[in-house]
Structure 1
Amino acid sequence: MSSVAPPIAIRQEGEKHVTSRKMTAGLGGGVALEWYDWNVYGIMAAFLSPHFFPSTDPTTSLLAALAVFGAGFVARPVGAAILGPIADRISHKTVMMISVTVMALSSLLISVLPGYKDWGVAAAVVLLVIRLLQGLATGAEAGVANAIAIELAPPGKEGRYLGLIGGTFIQLGTFCASMVAFLVSASMGADAMREWAWRLPFAVGGALGLLVIYLRSTLPETLIERAVHRQDDLSRIQETTGDVWRKLWSVRLSLLAVILVIGSVQIANYAWNGGLPNMANGVFKENSTWVYGITSLMIVIWIIASPFIGAFADKVRPSRAFTLLRLLLIPCFFLTLLYSEKSISTFFFVMVFGGAIVGFNMALYNFIATTLMPRAVRTTGVAIGYALGVTIFGGTSPYLLIWLQHANLPWLFPVYGSFVALLSVVVYHIAKKRGHVYVGN
């Protein structure tokens, strides 16, 4: 890991710790909000779908809502391509502020957006536009947050710190989305959830966004030109956007590895966080309160496990921890075959026991992806890789899971997920062998 000057010149050790905690809160809070706002749509898809995509077949309506969920991911690579070079060359803080502001405003808009009954097809179009804007704005969020986090991490404890920022805070956002859905469902009841109460979690996301906007507005700018111009060509700030893209092309094997490392775990993440809960609510008509409660329990396990998984990676070496956990994901995918009919006990088993393996992988993937990129293009490379991985693999995961179940081909989903997981391990080790792991090797 290249040395870097502290983000702001502070002489007294006590003040430095205060600033670090403040930065962690602003940095992690934005990551949590992004995942809250992004996942709350997936969690609420079964309830909002009849309001924007009415159909006599509830599965058809749900698939339409999930298609919009997936479309939001399409915009993420575009946002990463635009905002990533800005973060690498000009300002980390500006990109972070854009991201959190747009996410908060988008959630507020969805919470009051009229449905098909009032606006007709226009309601669905506006919903799609909002999701595309969210995708554009968050395109570079993962890249810039992880780039800052890995430079702030104490030497030798990068995995633990990235486990906090890229694991615990991510799962905290996901947990809050699931828990808010659980509380709203439990307090309002099924009828209210179907009619209007599904809007409340979106309103909560907008309100939380105001707090995170404040926290991020107080952060210092972390991209200090004098701190990185002295470094080698893979560390220093690039003079033009074209230089950023040329440098990224020179480490294209790393980029491919980032896409697969992120994409393979996102297949599982969105299957367990979006696909299975929506299948339970929309297809099998399980009790939604139980569904959200079980999903929340799964995410609690993820939150608790994240720092320990990061520390485990620091101890045994990141490459070994990644390989072990990613290979464990392969049998985990096949647990989805157990949930083929209405059964809340089967849903519990698949979500909690299979979900634990998914959570262990979620705790590590941001760290592994970030180690694959040199500092000169770290934000852009991780952002592009993240956006492509999530768009190609994660955004389509809930749709594929439910569609294959509907088409009586459920076995294809675990085969697909297992293949991509295995491929991610192979490409990662090829990149590592060729010297494309830049931190914690």
Structure 2
Amino acid sequence: MTVGLGGGVALEAYDWNIYGVMAAFLSPHFFPSGDPITSLLAALAVFGAGFLARPLGAALLGPVADRISHKRVMMISVTAMALSSLLISILPTYDDIGVTAAVALLLIRIVQGLSLGAESGVANAIAIELAPPGKEGRYLGLIGGTFIQLGAIGASMVAFLVSASVAPEVMREWAWRIPIAFGGVLGLFIIYLRTAMPETLVNRAMHRQDELSRIQETTSGIWKTLWSVRLSLLAVILVIGSVQIANYAWIAGLPNMANTVFKENSTWVFGILTLMGLTWMVTAPYVGAFADKMRPSRAFTLLRLLLIPCFFLTLIYSEKSISTLFIVMVFGGAIVGFNMGLYNFIATTLMPRAVRTTGVALGYALGVSLFGGTSPYLMVWLQREHMTWIFPVYGSLIALLSVVVYRIAKNRGRVYIGN
């Protein structure tokens, strides 16, 4: 059961992130330009555009999950993600079909964004229902931390293995398709595992008197209840959005800048990215257990404030130096990883049961779309414009704001689990 739930989360993290990892290699094939940085920025813009579809996916599928079936929405999401990756892996390039190639790539990424829009909310809602009492942080750390990082690590590790196995010109020409195709094929196995997952939408909650606990009979009831806890929704957006600025800076912004701007050895870059991801994956359950013991609100506040100086570490990677990249990615990335191990749990605690899937999914989608999806593009663009100092200032301000809004929500009784 845990493998089916977590495996699907890992697969979707892999399929979503592998595009970002391989952006420097696919960009000249779909967005050819005399300037490689311009091509990369175009590829990263498509990466960001996929995020814009996630709130729509959350709005469409979240209420279905809260009212009818967690499992059905979960199956729709993982199937669409896997099939989309298979399509990208065989998609003709600009040389074959012209600008149609770029348009097709954009449309496929939008489909992936729609499907992933509800996944985070469904997965977290199921996980919190299955978690042992008093160990919610540890279990959410496992599902929303370790398995997500397993997918992210898988993306960088497969990229590393392929890059190390072929000549650089082969990697640039066609071998970049292999890591993308791998996610699609693996998806077929995960779909099979998820068919055995239980339905966790509890029918006996239908007639509860408490509006924030019972299952809503209509979609309008979902939105009415969600509006009543709008402060919680804002907190979810910021709790998720601020850490996703750092997440996508570390897993997509820095590696692509290293590969394209500073011309680092791509095998080394992918190796460092894999090592960082392994650290995130191993520490996630322990971060959750730490939150269970310390109290989630205190753990979140401490780790989120530590993220502020972490953002400024990006400033030291200003020229070609694989050792500097290692320091920023692994040591700075450790703080990012601690926050990644906790944010799903904190976001889930902010939503009452009646709208947990919709609220977390919509908050997640908006947070990632507004902040995370734009992070790699912003980092690379600011580096080109010689304004790199803006990025850590921006990330720090959003991190601080997430703590302030979360504390206000908590003080107003808008934390529903582990308070």
Q: Does TM, normalized by the shorter one, top 0.5?
A: yes
| 2:313 paired with 1:335 | yes
Alpha-carbon offset, residue 224 of structure 1? 2.5
| 2:125 paired with 1:150 | no
Amino acid at match of 1:124: A
Match of 1:389 among 328, 348, 367: 367
Task: Map 1:260-299; keep pairs closer than 5 Å.
Answer: 260-299=238-277
Q: Which residue of 2 aligns with 1:7?
A: none
| 2:220 paired with 1:242 | yes
Match of 1:65 among 43, 54, 57: 43
Alpha-carbon offset, residue 220 of structure 1? 2.2
CA distance in 2 between partners of 1:244 and 1:434 (Å): 21
Q: Which moved more, 1:222-231 or 1:132-141?
A: 222-231
Gaps of 5+ in 1: 1-22
Amino acid at match of 2:383: Q
Amino acid at match of 2:142: L
Q: Which residue of 2 aligns with 1:123?
A: 101
Alpha-carbon offset, residue 189 of structure 1? 2.3
Alpha-carbon offset, residue 228 of structure 1? 4.9
| Per-residue deviation, residues 9-32 of structure 1 (Å, max 9, x unmatched) | xxxxxxxxxxxxxx2111101110
SS in 1 for 2:53: helix
Q: Which residue of 1 aligns with 2:383?
A: 405
Amino acid at match of 1:379: T
Match of 2:86 among 105, 108, 117: 108
Q: Which residue of 1 aligns with 2:191?
A: 213
CA distance in 2 between partners of 1:274 and 1:52 (Å): 18
Alpha-carbon offset, residue 222 of structure 1? 1.5
> Percent of aligned pairs with the same residue?
79
Amino acid at match of 1:92: H
CA contact (8 A) 2:68 2:201 kept: yes
Amino acid at match of 1:135: G
Match of 1:424 among 402, 406, 409: 402
CA distance in 1 between partners of 2:46 and 2:226 (Å): 30
Q: Which residue of 2 aligns with 1:232?
A: 210
CA contact (8 A) 2:28 2:39 kept: yes
CA distance in 2 between partners of 1:167 and 1:56 (Å): 40
CA distance in 1 between partners of 2:227 and 2:156 (Å): 39
CA distance in 2 between partners of 1:257 and 1:220 (Å): 30
Q: Which residue of 2 aligns with 1:253?
A: 231
Alpha-carbon offset, residue 282 of structure 1? 1.0
Q: Which residue of 2 aligns with 1:56?
A: 34
Alpha-carbon offset, residue 227 of structure 1? 4.3
CA distance in 2 between partners of 1:433 and 1:238 (Å): 27
Task: Map 1:290-329; keep pairs closer than 5 Å.
Answer: 290-329=268-307
CA distance in 2 between partners of 1:209 and 1:234 (Å): 35
Q: Which residue of 2 aligns with 1:361?
A: 339
CA distance in 2 between partners of 1:231 and 1:294 (Å): 53
Alpha-carbon offset, residue 229 of structure 1? 3.2
RMSD: 0.7
CA contact (8 A) 2:129 2:200 kept: no
| 2:361 paired with 1:349 | no
CA distance in 1 between partners of 2:178 and 2:32 (Å): 21
Q: Which moved more, 1:384-393 or 1:183-192?
A: 183-192
Alpha-carbon offset, residue 231 of structure 1? 5.8
Q: 1:231 to 1:29 in 2, by over 3 A?
A: farther
| Per-residue deviation, residues 163-209 of structure 1 (Å, max 9, x unmatched) | 00000000000000000000000001211110000000011001110
Task: Map 1:29-178; keep pairs closer than 5 Å.
Answer: 29-178=7-156
Amino acid at match of 1:72: G
Amino acid at match of 2:24: A
CA distance in 2 between partners of 1:305 and 1:427 (Å): 26
**Deviation above 3 Å: which 4+ runs of structure 1?**
227-231
CA contact (8 A) 2:9 2:148 kept: yes
Amino acid at match of 1:242: S
TM value normalised by structure 1 = 0.94
Task: Map 1:5-20; keep pairs closer than 5 Å.
Answer: none
| Per-residue deviation, residues 61-103 of structure 1 (Å, max 9, x unmatched) | 0000000000000000000000000000001011000100001
CA contact (8 A) 2:205 2:213 kept: no
CA distance in 2 between partners of 1:293 and 1:104 (Å): 25
TM value normalised by structure 2 = 0.99
Q: Which moved more, 1:272-281 or 1:210-219?
A: 210-219
CA distance in 2 between partners of 1:431 and 1:222 (Å): 27
SS in 1 for 2:415: coil
SS in 2 for 1:220: coil
Alpha-carbon offset, residue 338 of structure 1? 0.5
Q: 1:228 to 1:318 in 2, by over 3 A?
A: farther
Amino acid at match of 1:183: L
SS in 1 for 2:264: coil
Amino acid at match of 2:12: E
Q: Which residue of 2 aligns with 1:10?
A: none
SS in 2 for 1:285: coil
CA distance in 2 between partners of 1:321 and 1:190 (Å): 44
CA distance in 2 between partners of 1:139 and 1:228 (Å): 25
Gaps of 5+ in 2: none
